[in-house]
């Protein structure tokens, strides 16, 4: 029973970023049209890239990763005009729980129908709509990176596609492009991940899981070699 209670607490912690002030809340909208374009292709370096998740609870936090298996961006005159990458939801990992049984049960529940339903929807996708440099420098985030661009794209999760826009620092470095973000939060219920959501099921009262998920992106791309 104690392990079960602890497991529920961990699951709640995965999504509980409501009090996490360093994660910017990102709204979502209807999917946007992708215009595409012709330019130089840069391929994702998988082993140098990461999609990190993080959640907090009173007195602690939990964190982990999901693998981005492939991706590319299209660049024209040091401007990103398109791109897409694929996220393997079967690779959800928790990195801080040392108890193997609790770790496996947590990850198994996150992969279940209650959350990401990985058996039915094993892959998630993000497709770039636009990447625009800031006209004026934004205020730096305390303890975070100074972002340079805002990225708009369509996120597909559980077969639901919605657009999001988030800030990122993008560096163009000869044959490589680096893109990193500060922590940002999205509302999971917008992608039909509604388990124990107070906004969906009001009867949960104080026994609920926060809707927000914290994400951090670290991406590295290399220019495709000419054949």
User: What are the CA-CA distances from residue 101 to residues 58, 105, 212 (Å)?
Assistant: 23, 6, 26
Q: Which phi and psi angles does 164 have, rounded to 5°?
A: -140, 155
Cβ neighbors of 180 (< 8 A, separation 6 or more) are 145, 168, 169, 216, 217, 218, 219
Work out the widest C-alpha separation in the chain, in whole angstroms: 61
User: How far is 159 from 31, CA to CA, in rounded Å?
Assistant: 12
Report the candidate in 218, 185, 220 with the shortest Cα–Cα distance to residue 17: 185
User: What pLDDT is stored for residue 60 in this prediction?
Assistant: 56
Say if strands 184-187 and 28-30 run parallel, antiparallel, or are unpaired. unpaired
pLDDT exceeds cutoff 80 at 23: yes
Q: Which residue has the tokens 């922590």?
A: 183
With beta carbons less than 8 A apart as the criterion, state whether 154 and 137 touch: no
Instruction: Encode pLDDT of 59-109 as tens digits.
Output: 456 679 999 999 999 999 889 999 999 999 999 999 988 999 989 988 998
pLDDT exceeds cutoff 60 at 206: no
With beta carbons less than 8 A apart as the criterion, state whether 85 and 125 touch: yes
What does the pLDDT average to over 115-119? 94
Stated pTM of the model: 0.84
Assign a CATH topology to domain 2-223.
Answer: Lipocalin (2.40.128)
User: What pLDDT is stored for residue 202 in this prediction?
Assistant: 43
pLDDT exceeds cutoff 80 at 54: no
**Residue 32 DSSP one-character state:** P
End-to-end CA distance of the chain: 61
**Of 147 and 198, more confident:** 147
**Does residue 3 sit in helix, strand or coil?**
helix
User: How far is 150 from 49, CA to CA, in rounded Å?
Assistant: 19
pLDDT exceeds cutoff 80 at 177: yes
The helix (run of H) or strand (run of E) holding residue 57 is strand 50-57
pLDDT exceeds cutoff 90 at 18: no
């Amino acid at each position: 029973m104690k392990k079960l209670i602890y497991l529920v607490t961990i699951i709640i912690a995965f999504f509980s970023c409501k009090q996490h002030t360093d994660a910017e809340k990102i709204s979502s909208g209807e999917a946007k049209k992708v215009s595409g374009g012709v330019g130089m292709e840069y391929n994702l370096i998988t082993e140098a890239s990461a999609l990190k998740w993080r959640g907090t609870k009173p007195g602690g936090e939990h964190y982990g990763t999901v693998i981005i298996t492939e991706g590319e961006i299209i660049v024209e005159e040091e401007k990103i005009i398109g791109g897409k990458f694929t996220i393997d939801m079967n690779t959800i990992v928790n990195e801080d729980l040392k108890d193997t049984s609790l770790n496996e049960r947590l990850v198994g529940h996150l992969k279940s129908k209650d959350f990401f339903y990985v058996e039915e929807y094993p892959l998630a996708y993000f497709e770039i709509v636009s990447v625009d440099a800031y006209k004026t420098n934004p205020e730096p985030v305390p303890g975070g990176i100074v972002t340079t661009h805002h990225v708009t794209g369509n996120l597909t999760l559980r077969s639901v596609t919605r657009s999001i826009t988030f800030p990122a620092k993008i560096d163009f470095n000869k044959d490589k492009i680096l893109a990193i973000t500060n922590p940002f939060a999205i509302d999971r219920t917008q992608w039909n991940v509604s388990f124990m959501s107070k906004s969906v099921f009001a009867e949960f009262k104080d026994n609920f899981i926060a809707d927000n998920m914290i994400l951090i992106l670290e991406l590295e791309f290399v220019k495709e070699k000419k054949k």
